[in-house]
């Protein structure tokens, strides 16, 4: 198995939950990139967006991802936008196995509505605005997500099954 497993996918696709379970199962460290950015900046993601702006967030995201490419035996849950800028998808593909957790826009919408995590990109959107936003953004982002080494269906995805697929790949 590759020493670095990058979980990628849209906001709300379950990268962090699945990533920590997967890491435990295969004996790797688990790193949630957003949490690492927050710890490094000593600011929450919403505060980074409001105080510094999205461009600065993307720069920090890129810096941290490049650093993580030197770690061994890690499962990394990336932020939903990380693969889609600064050639980060190619960087991840050349340093590890990338796994796209795919879900339909409807499924993402209902998960995001239920989620308690504050996400600046979708804050304050009505249900109607949210589905429209997901449809549009997902269409753009899938050009990047689909470059992943593996694409898996995010519905009822178990860490055991994913570990098995990774071993077979």
Nearest to ligand S3P of 1, 110 (CB atom): 110
45 near ligand S3P, rule: CB under 6 A: yes
Please report how close the Cβ of residue 4 comes to ligand S3P at its closest, in angstroms: 18
Q: For ligand S3P, which stretch binds (CB under 6 A), given 98-106, 115-123, 143-151, 160-168?
A: 115-123
Q: What is d(CA 112, CA 54) in angstroms, rounded to the nearest whole number?
A: 20
State the CB neighbour count (10 A cutoff) for residue 7: 28
Backbone angles phi and psi of 79, in degrees to 5: -75, 155
- Rule CB under 6 A: choose which of 3, 67, 90, 121 binds ligand S3P: 121
Window 77-96: contact mask with ligand S3P (x via CB under 6 A): --xxx---------------
> Is 6:76 a contact under the CB 8 Å cutoff?
yes
Report how far Cα 158 is from the mean position of its chain's Cα atoms: 17
Please list the residues that pair with 31 across neighbouring strands: 76
- CA distances in angstroms from 33 to 63, 119, 133, listed in the order given: 11, 14, 23
Site stretch for ligand S3P (CB under 6 A), options 87-95, 118-126, 143-151, 153-161:
118-126
Specify the residue, 40 or 168, whose C-beta has the smaller distance to ligand S3P: 40
For ligand S3P, the binding residues (CB under 6 A) are 11, 34, 45, 79-81, 119-121
């Amino acid at each position: 198995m590759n020493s670095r497993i990058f979980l990628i996918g849209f906001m709300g696709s379950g990268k962090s939950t699945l990533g920590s379970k997967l890491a435990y199962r295969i004996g790797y460290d688990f790193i949630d990139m957003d949490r690492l950015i927050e710890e490094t900046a000593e600011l929450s993601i919403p505060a980074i967006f409001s105080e510094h702006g999205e461009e600065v967030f993307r720069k920090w995201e890129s810096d941290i991802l490049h650093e993580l490419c030197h770690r061994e035996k890690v499962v990394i849950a990336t932020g939903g936008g990380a693969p889609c800028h600064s050639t980060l998808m190619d960087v991840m593909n050349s340093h590890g196995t990338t796994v796209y957790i795919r879900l339909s826009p409807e499924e993402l919408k209902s998960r995001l509505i239920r989620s308690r995590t504050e996400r600046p990109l979708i804050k304050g959107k009505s249900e109607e605005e949210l589905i429209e936003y997901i449809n549009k953004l997902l269409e753009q982002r899938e050009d990047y997500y689909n470059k992943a080494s593996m694409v898996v269906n995010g519905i009822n995805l178990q860490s055991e099954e994913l570990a098995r697929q990774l071993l077979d790949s």
